[in-house]
Structure 1
Amino acid sequence: MKFKSNTLRKWSRAVHRDLSFFFSGMLLIYAVSGLVMNHRDSINPHYIIERKEYTLPAGQLTGAEKITREQVLQLLQPLGEEDNYTKHYYPKPGVVKVFLKGGSNLVVHLRTATAEYESVRKRHVISEMTKLHYNPGRWWTYFADAFAVGLILITLTGIIMLKGSKGLWGRGGVELLVGILIPLAFLFLF
């Protein structure tokens, strides 16, 4: 019996080690993107959005109720956005909203000569990583399933690798039980 348990532990170490190395990259990607997704209220995983308020130079648009496309392009020059102009309209009297390529925009208050610029830029790496949580395709489903099976095998081999007071019948078993009870408590008590 001792020979079989030692052989099982030896194979468990090998499987645990090799699968851990193989899936560690995926585990890191899921962990980082999962953290970002858990905090979507404070960080947008897909875009960097920056807002800037400023006062227009004295005399620019003084007393204007409507402005031309050329005047809008002049307003966009200091922002470096003149080539990104798509259209503008008046959501209410004395206010012009300018739409720019990529989702950025400029709101100009003609009466107070103030403006609010909202810059929207794509957040590349994190955005792509979070897409993996939404199952982007059939081939990804196969890899994600293999990843899930790999995690199960890593867990099971980790559980049986150690024996004695640090193994399943000692401290390891207590930690395993606590690790099961915490998510169950969140599911059923909170």
Structure 2
Amino acid sequence: MISPLKARNLHRDLGYFYIGLIISFAFSGILMNHRDYWHPEKYTVQTKAISVNIPKDTDITEKYAEELGKKLGIDDKIRRHKVKDDELKISFEKNDVEIDLKTGKGEIVTFIKTPIISQTMKLHKNTSNWWIYYSDIFGLSLITIAITGAIMIKVGKNTFGKRGWKLALAGLIVPLLILIFV
């Protein structure tokens, strides 16, 4: 069994080592929780009104959408397109295009990445092998921080055995209830 002093030292040192990553993950996690309400990775730079002539019998394929984007001066990689309720929507990496198919009127919205915020968002999306291994080590370190924090106080009314286990159980039950009922 690890001594309270060794637990305290390990807890402190891992906490110091990972403080930057903990704050970055927490910050970008909060931003990702609210990504349906705003685009934390990009912001609008320019909105430009356009008018195009799309013949009624045109089959709007991905290739057609990509070529239309090039005619409109967009040289981004196309992500997707869709036609719904007589509206054509084309999403590119840095631009979104919306065109009313009845009138031909629409707009191009151009985005750039939000400095710092877009980089922290990458922490949650990165799938490279080195990052996955580093994140696994980080996860194990967070478990170690939690365990050492629980066992380093051995005397008094606020020990894990007297009070801490109840809070830990409550902290576990809340996300389980959310997973089950929400």
Structure 2 residue aligned with 1:34, among 29, 33, 37?
Answer: 29
Tell me the equivalent position of 1:175.
167
User: The residue matched to 1:170 in structure 2 has which SS?
Assistant: helix
Structure 1 residue aligned with 2:18, among 15, 23, 26?
Answer: 23
CA RMSD of aligned residues (A): 3.7
Task: Give the TM-score normalised by the residue count of structure 1.
Answer: 0.63
Residues 9 and 160 in structure 1, CA contact (< 8 A), matched pair in contact too: yes
Q: Normalized per residue, which structure has more helix?
A: 1
- Count of aligned positions: 148
Deviation at 1:88, TM superposition (A): 3.0
Bigger-Rg structure (1/2): 1
Cα distance in 1 for residues equivalent to 2:93 and 2:136: 39
What is the letter of the counterpart of residue 117 of structure 2? I
1:80-159 alignment to 2 at 5 Å?
87-88=71-72, 102-103=94-95, 118-159=109-150
- The gaps in structure 1 that reach 5 residues or longer are 55-64, 67-84, 90-99
> Deviations 1:34-62 (Å, cap 9, x if unpaired)?
111110111212210267689xxxxxxxx
What is the letter of the counterpart of residue 72 of structure 2? H
What is the letter of the counterpart of residue 149 of structure 2? G
> Deviations 1:136-169 (Å, cap 9, x if unpaired)?
3111111101101100100000000113311112
- The gaps in structure 2 that reach 5 residues or longer are 54-68, 74-91
How much identity, in percent, do the aligned residues show?
32
Deviation at 1:179, TM superposition (A): 0.6
What is the letter of the counterpart of residue 167 of structure 1? T
What is the letter of the counterpart of residue 126 of structure 2? N
Cα distance in 2 for residues equivalent to 1:132 and 1:51: 27
CA, structure 1 residues 119+167, in 2 after alignment: closer, same or farther (shift >3 Å)?
Answer: same
Deviation at 1:101, TM superposition (A): 9.9
Task: Give the TM-score normalised by the residue count of structure 2.
Answer: 0.65
Deviation at 1:14, TM superposition (A): 0.1
Residues 165 and 171 in structure 1, CA contact (< 8 A), matched pair in contact too: yes
Residues 9 and 162 in structure 1, CA contact (< 8 A), matched pair in contact too: yes
